[in-house]
Amino acid sequence: MHSLKRKYLEHRHAINDGIVLGASAICTFVYAIYFEMAELFFEFSRKHEEWELDDIVLSFLLIFSFYLMIFAIRRWKDTRLLLKKAYTDSLTEVYNRRKCTKTLLLEVTIAKKFNRTLSIIAIDIDHFKKINDVFGHAAGDHVLKTLSGLVKNEIRGADTLFRIGGEEFLIISTETDLSGATRLAERLRSLIEKYPFGKIGGVTASFGVAEYESGDNTDTLFQRADKNLYEAKETGRNRVVC
């Protein structure tokens, strides 16, 4: 219920800001056309007599519209910043689980409607609890940030990385079939395995890959990737199962 209320307020604020910004732009445009602003300002610069009442009213309307537009732009920027914070993991600075849920629903809907390929890759850092226990939580945070940076730099611009749990990540790979997603997962697995993580030494990760199939929804697709990830963990870790 709290999540639904938050979403409702976010959408309502965004709509209100859009209305204010649109109204400000329309008012400014109408004033400029109706009162022939360019010509009027030119005339003001040439004459030195005192302004009449209509000049004062016009000036007030212009100033009011200007500040109204500035206010609307600032509100729009503030709203975007709040939404970014709401959908971003504060530690790794990749998208969080809330954003993953929304994005996966959208991509599954597109895949279903337009018969497009879609794959997801579930990632879990191997023995992460041991890293925290032996080296401390600061070292664990370093692994999370470093690994997410490695993955984010390796995937395509059309792919999206999310942190969906403590040491769990998910990649949504659009227009990618199972073989393509498996190759990407294997490339990421090798990259992580070879990367030096300082005093921690070697770090590995396990991967579960699944492709959208006809009749899938977000739950069935995710469960299939999670099942493959579990198999990768159970059969030795540091491997890709699809």
pTM of the model: 0.71
Pairwise CA distance, residues 69 & 25, whole Å: 7
Picking from 148, 170, 190, the residue whose alpha carbon sits closest to that of residue 140 is 148
Kindly give the confidence (pLDDT) of every residue in the chain, 242 residues in length, as a single tens digit, with 9 standing for 90 and above.
Answer: 444 444 544 555 556 555 655 665 565 555 555 445 555 555 555 554 555 555 555 666 667 666 677 767 777 676 666 666 788 999 999 999 999 999 999 999 999 999 999 999 999 999 999 999 999 999 999 999 999 999 999 999 999 999 999 999 999 999 999 999 999 999 999 999 999 998 888 999 999 999 999 999 999 999 999 999 999 999 999 999 99
Task: Report the SS3 class of residue 28.
Answer: helix
Note the CATH number of domain 97-241: 3.30.70.270
Which residues form the catalytic set?
167
Pairwise CA distance, residues 116 & 119, whole Å: 10
Asked whether the beta carbons of 185 and 161 are under 8 A apart, the reply is no
Amino acid at 88: T
Pairwise CA distance, residues 132 & 121, whole Å: 24
Which neighbouring-strand residues pair with 119?
173, 211
Asked whether the beta carbons of 177 and 131 are under 8 A apart, the reply is no
Q: Write a three-state SS string for 90-152.
A: CCCCCECHHHHHHHHHHHHHHHHHHCCCEEEEEEEECCHHHHHHHHCHHHHHHHHHHHHHHHH
What is the residue extent of each domain of the chain? Answer: 2-86, 97-241
Place of tokens 């998208």: 95
